[in-house]
Amino acid sequence: MNTPENSLTKEQITHFAQRIDARKSLLLGEIRQVLARSRNEYYVDLIGGAGDSGDTATASLLRDITEAEVIRDIGEVRDIVAAEDRIATGKYGLCIDCGEPVRYKRLDAYPTAKRCFTCQVRRERLLAPSPYTGR
């Protein structure tokens, strides 16, 4: 693994750190709101009882969607924390697989990117389900 100097300037890293921090604050706020709303809905369900089967199915679907959104948001927060760690250790903007710089355009589109485009494509191909094995 090569360890080239990071090609990002301090100003660019600061810019990405600010964007990452703003996104983290937004996500944590959304997660808190959803969790507070979920607690309130739980108590309303306890007091009000269940409606007809259509109401119950709709409520169940909405809970599943909300849960999936929270899980996605938590995953993004984890990516943000990892990016913050890379910033703190001076490794932000370097691919975690090959050590080469991640292109500025990629970081601009996806500030928590941890791999260069080539390594990310390679990883996705390794993790993609095979049409031959069904995995």
Given a cut of 70, whether residue 4 has pLDDT beyond it is no
Closest of 63, 33, 29 to residue 45, by C-alpha: 63
Looking at the chain, the whole-number percentage of residues with pLDDT higher than 90 is 58
Greater confidence (64 vs 67) lies with: 67
Handedness of CA 128, 129, 131, 135 (dihedral sign): positive
Residue 3 lies in a domain: no
Residue 5 lies in a domain: no
Domain count along the chain? 1
Lowest mean pLDDT among 14-23, 68-77, 95-104: 68-77
| Owning domain of residue 98 | 10-127
CATH code of the domain in which 109 resides: 1.20.120.910
Residue 132 lies in a domain: no
- pLDDT in the model for residue 12: 97
Residue 119 lies in a domain: yes
